[in-house]
A = this chain, B = another copy of it.
Amino acid sequence: MISNPNIILPEPTLRRLPWYLAYVEILKARKVEFVSSTQISRALSVDAAQIAKDLSFLSLRGKTRIGYEVDALAKALSDFLGFRTLHKAFVFGAGSLGRALMHDSGLANYGLDIVAGFDIDCEKIGSTVGDVPIYHMDSLSEMMNRHDATIGILTVPAECAQDTADTAIGEGIRAIWNFTPYRVKVAEGIVMTNTSIYAHLALIYNRLNAES
């Protein structure tokens, strides 16, 4: 089994591996049996040597002239990326974006198991979004005991982002996935990942204006 690599992979490699996986999954659905790095290279416009290097992190080896077995490569990539293991997560903030993520059942296919949501709005407490129950922040400690979640998904208003992250980390959350536009600071040893959808929007608007 190739799962749970305990080496720190370079970010660009972690960005490219899911591309390869998506492409290989398509080949698998088309019943293609083998794929070479040259073929992946042509399909995705990534340098073939780079692909070979990225795939060398996996303990899978391609065969000369034939390439990688599609089924095995898909499984190895998915394992290696952690998508075949469920990782428990809490969502902090049951506003529109938080609810949207709780509704997105597709994330479970990528190893994300959202087990609870938290908010401070009494109208939301006790309700469920999709299958996810919403609790008051005051119940966080109790819920951590029950679920032992490692990932905190941050979708609170920007002004609460830092405080909420601090509280979550204080209760044992070890990774913050920040969707707020606020730049949250965390202590060393805590994993921090930003999905900056507002920055991406700004980028799109800027490029559109510049083109026109």
- A-side residues, CB < 8 A to B, are 4-9, 11, 14-15, 17-19, 21-23, 25-26, 29, 44-46, 81-83, 85, 87, 95-97, 99-101, 103-107, 110-112, 150-151, 158-159, 174-175, 177, 180-183, 185, 189, 191, 193, 195-212
When all copies of this chain in the complex are counted, the total is 2
> Do B104 and A96 touch (CB < 8 A)?
yes
**CB < 8 Å: which of B15, B96, B177, B191 contacts A211?**
B191
From the candidates B83, B96, B182, B203, name the one contacting A11 in the complex (CB within 8 A). B203
Is A6's CB under 8 angstroms from B83's CB? no
Contacts of A15 in B (CB 8 A): 196, 199
Taking a contact as CB atoms under 8 Å apart, the answer to whether A211 and B189 are in contact is yes
User: A111 near B201 (CB under 8 angstroms)?
Assistant: yes
Nearest Cβ in chain B — how far from A195, in angstroms?
Answer: 5
Give A208 Cβ to nearest chain B Cβ, in Å: 5
Q: Is the CB of A202 within 8 A of B45?
A: no
Can you list 12 A-B pairs with a CB-CB distance of less than 8 A? A14-B203, A17-B199, A19-B181, A22-B180, A22-B182, A46-B183, A83-B201, A96-B104, A96-B106, A100-B101, A151-B208, A175-B208
